[in-house]
Chains A and B, each alone.
Chain A
Amino acid sequence: MNQHPIEAASHPGEALVEARDIYVSFGATPALRGASVTVASGEIVAIMGPSGSGKSTLLHCLAGILVPDRGEVMFAGKPIHGLGENERSTLRRERFGFVFQFGQLVPELTAEENVALPLLLGGTRRAAALEQARQWFDELGLTGLGGRRSGELSGGEAQRVALARGLVTRPDVVFADEPTGSLDSLNGERVMNLLVGVARQHGTTVVVVTHAPRVAAYADREVVVRDGKVTSAPMEAVLT
């Protein structure tokens, strides 16, 4: 397993993921214009905002997928925006889990192999990786589906397999980008119940991008991105 550069342990309530005044442009189009957000360890935070507001870009920066043009991104108190692609890749694989709108399962692999994929990429032996992967199937209501390929799964099942894949490494942070966006209400609810349930149980931090208030309602709080900036203040500032 590769040695990643972030060794600092996080404690509940301490800032774990942070963006400080970050700017990102795609060509001449600005996506983020001075966005800042802090997510504490163990917190579940929803990033909301209209289409094109920059919420997914913010998530990608927090997760080390994108590097901002300006500003800082911190994980566990250490800057990650200056890391090289390989280091960020290792960080993502070992400390982060991902769930996207469309499960993005590898169609040639079985459900079990898909779930085991992050472990296999991290150097875990195949038998051990598959064994760890299987442990998630009962927990996520996927009993008996481990041998199926993505084409043989319903949308809800495929998304729960993707969720298992995001959780299998026991990440510090799960980044979810519209995780229920392709599902009906019932299946979306099931995915969120499972994600939040597992996160609460293991103290996992979750950052979920969504435009759906019902999904955001599973979070401890929401931040709103408009025109590339985080506009929302803490709840206390509004209600007191």
Chain B
Amino acid sequence: MVTLGSAGCSGWVGVRVAPGTKRLAAPKVAVRVVCVRTVESPVSYLTWVYTECMLVGMSVPFALLGLLEREPSHGYDLKRDYDAFFGRGKALPFGQVYSTLARLVRDGMVSPGELEPGAGPERKRYTITDVGKREVEDWLDVPVEPEPHLQTVLFVKVVLALMLGRSAERYLETQRRAHQQRMRELTVLKRSGSPVDALLADHGLFHLEADLRWIELTSSRLDALAVSVQS
């Protein structure tokens, strides 16, 4: 059974792996969601993939669980900490914080405290349970799926361009520029931001660089590829 949060890419996915046992998983499915979103335009594609979605592999529920393992917290403080460490210009909606907490409570990973008096939003202090701590530990132990996104839009565009006799070279050059521009932006972030900003920027930079190497290599092979695709 797979359920996807209403926030799409930022949502979380629950996969039932054994009767009565709910485990959290995210990266693979989330990346596929990203690919669906990529058809809009090259620019939104880049923004989508290389800023917000760097965080998708981590996923919101694990991040909240991890923050709760650090210390019990109210929903409001959790959101503030999440935004500070992982938000990067895309704040976590309150609704998502509380709906995620509700699921974590339901699954026995988080324990809610008593309702505390006070104005404003719900004031409960949430505490991670032993089950939740094990979940965080298991998640940290499991490597992220190393399989690259073999069916990326970049790949599809190149193959289709070659198949239709259109200019794959022009597309690759446009994509190269867009990638390089994004790398410049991330380099600025890295030079001007905190060490945590630099860490995130580096992650994006290395991935973009890998794409650029592929673009460069593909550009030099277009003639042979065209023969192969059109035959």
> Is B191 a contact of A213 with CB atoms below 8 Å?
no
The answer to whether A193 touches B191, judged by C-beta atoms less than 8 angstroms apart, is yes
Is B187's CB under 8 angstroms from A218's CB?
yes
Is residue B184 contacting chain A, with contact meaning CB distance below 8 A? Answer: yes
Main secondary structure on chain A at its contact with chain B? mixed
Contact B184 A219 (CB under 8 A): yes
Say if the beta carbon of B229 comes within 8 Å of chain A.
no
Residues of B within 8 A of A219 (CB): 184
Interface of B is mostly: helix
B-contacting residues, A208-230, CB 8 Å = 212-214, 216-220, 222, 224
B183 on interface, CB distance cutoff 8 Å: yes
Q: Do A50 and B220 contact each other (CB < 8 Å), given the known contacts A217-B186, A238-B174, A239-B43?
A: yes
Taken residue by residue from 166 to 195, chain B's Cβ proximity to chain A (1 for < 8 Å, 0 otherwise) reads as 000000011011111101101100010000
Contact (Cβ within 8 A) A217 B43 = no
Which residue from chain A places its CB closest to the CB of B176 in the assembled complex?
Answer: A224
- Does any Cβ of B come within 8 Å of A28's Cβ? no
Q: List residues of B (87-121) whose CB comes within 8 Å of A's CBs.
A: none
Contact of A235 with B212 at beta-carbon distance under 8 Å, contacts A50-B220, A217-B187 already known: no
> Hey, which chain B residues are within 8 Å of A193, CB to CB?
191
**Interface bracket on B:** 20 to 34
CA distance A212 to B178 in the complex (A): 16
Provided the pairs A50-B216, A50-B220, A239-B43 are in contact, do residues A217 and B180 lie with their beta carbons within 8 angstroms?
yes
What's the Cα separation between A78 and B179 when bound, in Å?
36
> Is A232 located at the chain interface by the 8 A CB criterion?
yes
A226 nearest in chain B by CB position? B219
Bound-complex Cα distance A177 to B226 (A): 35
Residues of B whose CB lies within 8 Å of any CB of A are 43, 173-174, 176-181, 183-184, 186-187, 191, 205-206, 208-209, 212, 216, 220
